[in-house]
Amino acid sequence: MTGYIHSVETMGLVDGPGVRTVVFLQGCPLRCQYCHNPDTWTPQLGTARTVDDLVKQLVRMKPYFKSSGGGVTFSGGEPLLQADFVTACMKALKHHGIHTCLDTSGSVVGDFTDLLSQTDLILYDCKHPDPEGYHQLTAGKLSVTEGFLQQAQDAGIPLWIRHVVVPGITDGDAHMAQLQTYINRLFHVEKVELLPYHMLGHSKYQNLNIPEPLADTPAMDKARCSQLQTTYFR
């Protein structure tokens, strides 16, 4: 089986517990205004890799995973677009005793029972708690991601929830209160992380010659983001 990979990052420290290798899969159905990886949108731009080839690379890092409580995180793009490939990779990794993590926005319709059966942890990218706000921010539908989220809830998989805080869009107290209410109804939540919007993807839009929706939006003040974290998600 073949999948399309954007890149593979070794020794990652922010995409799940411990030292991790992060596999960034190519392709994404959303067009988030704050996206800093527009180069992952189109599936055809990825590098074709077989399950066996990729897993061989990932298993080499097992000593680092074992000593740190780490593992492999499948991110994107949106990994659910290549669910069969990710499932096959995870099954092979589990055979080697490696912890698996799925970093997803849940923005794909489907039955993900097999994939979730191989997933130890989900990093759930919570874009927006309101259907209208979600669509304005991502051009997608909140109902789709909630369909995936319900499957994850039924499977009882631990969640680390992450939310990007964008100046003038998702940084207000009313928004945070709404987000808090949305998250409080969920089960198996181990952590909530507010991530400050940054401008590291600015050059990518220029290189791809595509418009950048938030080109004039400044980076989120980290102190303010930390304050919101403490106030709403201690």
Mean of per-residue pLDDT scores for the chain: 96
Answer yes or no: pTM beyond 0.75: yes
91 close to 116: Cβ distance less than 8 angstroms = no
CATH number of residue 222's parent domain: 3.20.20.70
User: Considering the chain, what percentage of its residues have pLDDT values greater than 90?
Assistant: 95
Question: Using alpha carbons only, what angle is made at residue 121 by residues 42 and 94, rounded to the nearest 5 degrees?
Answer: 90
Q: Of 66, 68, 74, 106, which is closest to residue 90 (Cα–Cα)?
A: 74
Q: Which residues, 6+ apart, have CB-to-CB distance to 106 below 8 Å?
A: 80, 124, 125, 144, 145, 146, 147, 148, 149, 152
Nearest-angstrom CA–CA distance, 174 and 179? 9
**Res 86: pLDDT:** 98
Report the domain count for the chain. 1
Nearest-angstrom CA–CA distance, 25 and 47? 9
Q: What is the pLDDT of residues 180-227, one digit of tens each?
A: 999 999 999 999 999 999 988 889 999 999 999 999 999 999 999 999
3 close to 82: Cβ distance less than 8 angstroms = yes
144 close to 107: Cβ distance less than 8 angstroms = yes
41 close to 204: Cβ distance less than 8 angstroms = no
More confident residue, 43 or 197: 197
Residue showing tokens 């990518």? 204
Q: Is the pLDDT of residue 141 over 90?
A: yes
Nearest-angstrom CA–CA distance, 169 and 136? 10
User: Which regions of the chain does DSSP assign to beta strands (E)?
Assistant: 2-12, 20-25, 47-50, 71-75, 99-104, 121-125, 159-165, 189-196
Q: Which domain holds residue 154?
A: 2-232
